[in-house]
Amino acid sequence: MPAERTLDRRAWLQQAAAAATTLWLPRAARSQPRLTDDPFTLGVASGSPRADGVVLWTRLHLPGAVIGSDAVTLRWEVAHDEAFTRIAQRGQVQALPDLAHSAHAEVQGLAPDRWYFYRFMAGDAVSPTGRTRTLPAADAPVTRLRLAYASCQRWEHGYFSAYRHMAEENLDLVLFLGDYIYEYPTAAQPVRIPSGGWVLTLDDYRQRYALHKSEPELQRMHAACPWLVTWDDHEVQNDYAGSHVGQGGPAVADFAARRAAAYQAFYEHMPLRASVLTRAFAGLASGAEMRIHGQLSWGRLASLMLLDARQFKSAQACTPEGRPGSATLDPQTCETWADPERSMLGTAQEQWLDQTLATQGAAHVWNFVGQQSLLGQRGFRTASGQRLWNDGWDGYAPARRRLTDALQQHRVANPVFLGGDVHENWVGHVKADYADPASASVGVEFCGTSITARASANPRTTEVLAQNPHFVFADAQRRGYGVVECTPQLLTTRLRVLDDVTRRDTQAETLASFVVEAGRAVVERA
């Protein structure tokens, strides 16, 4: 990489970091444009919480108008009350044109385990009010955590009505587990058609995020509590793996450039810290441009680990004719499948996860692992033998075995895996060895359905469930989200589903509920 290009990218990172943390800008008045319309049409959000602070996000956006090419200085306030009569912190942050005029205010100096209200101001314009909270202190004896997990919100397949119901759940956190946008131009029998066609360039990705962010139900949920976010494939391209191109849509000459544009747009639209860009654009060539994985503690009650199963992923094994993307494979005839060098997470992230499980696994009552897909083996028999899907953990069995071995080696207390991607609800036990039906259960799993994205037209869910008895429940028909509540004694999970995602006024109900007692890796129907 040319030296001058590297320097440009380092300068860009420094600018982004400065924009996130600047509290006072003496020349702020020079970066205040005249805004005749509401620039906060994409709402506000918070995330990346700590015990003493949180990231506040917004993006200035004027549909059909141009904000300009200058940075815009925003004022922000964090208050104890919704009327903003008792201000806890205030400051300024820059919305940079190079980042689509998005702003990431990294607020510090807040009290732990506390709810706050926040807002942004640009000139005379005031954003909607958001509600956020800080984490409990790491050693605090917390008695409750309530979170939701969600994934896969495809615009064409329905409305984001699930978030209207989620906003009534009184949540502490949301874990979003991937596929925040989809890169497709339309769908078969679409409920609505997104603008812009195939998403290929930085401007395309920005427009698609803006389309999603304009949804009032999604804005309401972002403003309700902090979000922890990771990505899957559709934030870039269907079934891409690491630096390997996926499938679908027009071919691009430079997939690395497309991925870099997609990653930048993800950062621009998520409440992430500038530290996720510690290697800036220079890391793109090695597949490490953004660090999405991480861990936080909810007092002594829970550890929350969030994984990145796309950026460092080995290419899928035994896809027919050597084409990119996913397929099913026969493990008896696919030699690559058993290669221990292949990974879902990459060597560095695997090592980080192993160390985190070693240091945190016995320090908390519950250990949540948020990741993109179904962890447990979900094979199905055909006339020619067993078939496994090669894009999920089933396609990376040695890597999964390293993970389950680590759970046992480090005596991790009460592991709970939360996933998405498959557009279906699956609930079950994480096994030490999927080749041995009698092997121990070393954790539990709740893999969630989608917000809107349809499941594949597979009528065999009941049959596949019967062939994989480590799962106790499956449903491929309903869309929605999951709600998890844990105490030091018990974890309860409710699968919340919608009547009809093609209607904004759809109702929600609980499809099924499950409990897990602390100290027993057993899922039971409530």
Torsion of CA 98, 104, 105, 110, to 10 degrees: -160
DSSP 305: E
Average pLDDT for 378-398: 93
pLDDT at position 68, please? 75
Q: Give 13's DSSP letter.
A: H
pLDDT in the model for residue 18: 60
CB 306 within 8 A of CB 293: yes
Burial of 462 (0-12, 13-18, 19+ CB in 10 A): exposed
If you average pLDDT over every residue of the chain, what do you get? 92
pLDDT interval class at 475 (50, 70, 90): very high
Domain spans of the chain? 19-133, 140-525
Residue 86 main-chain phi, psi, to 5 deg: -125, 90
| β strands within 96-217, DSSP E | 102-107, 115-122, 125-126, 130-133, 145-150, 173-176
Tens-digit pLDDT profile for residues 308-362: 999 999 999 999 998 999 999 999 999 999 999 999 999 999 999 999 999 999 9
Which contiguous run of DSSP H or E holds residue 409? helix 397-409
Model pLDDT for residues 177-213, shown as the tens digit of each residue: 999 999 999 999 999 999 999 999 999 999 999 999 9
User: What would the CATH number be for the domain defined by 19-133?
Assistant: 2.60.40.380
Closest CA relative to residue 477, chosen from 498, 493, 505, 503: 498
The mean pLDDT of 380-401, rounded to a whole number, is: 94
- Residue 6 pLDDT > 60, yes or no? no
Q: Which of 31-35, 233-237, 284-288, 351-355 has the lowest mean pLDDT?
A: 284-288
Higher pLDDT, 297 or 22: 297
287: pLDDT strictly greater than 70: no
The pLDDT of residue 280 is 56
Instruction: Average the pLDDT over 268-285 and give the result.
Output: 76
pLDDT band at residue 456 using 50, 70 and 90 as cut-offs: confident
pLDDT in the model for residue 336: 97
CA-wise closest residue to 212 among 234, 241, 233: 234
pLDDT interval class at 30 (50, 70, 90):
very low
The class level of CATH for 140-525 reads alpha beta
Q: How confident is the model at residue 80 (pLDDT cuts 50, 70, 90)?
A: very high
What's the mean pLDDT in 440-461? 92
d(CA 40, CA 214): 10
Residue pair 441/430 in contact (Cβ under 8 Å)? The answer is: yes
Whether pLDDT at 404 is above 70: yes
Q: Is the pLDDT of residue 279 over 90?
A: no
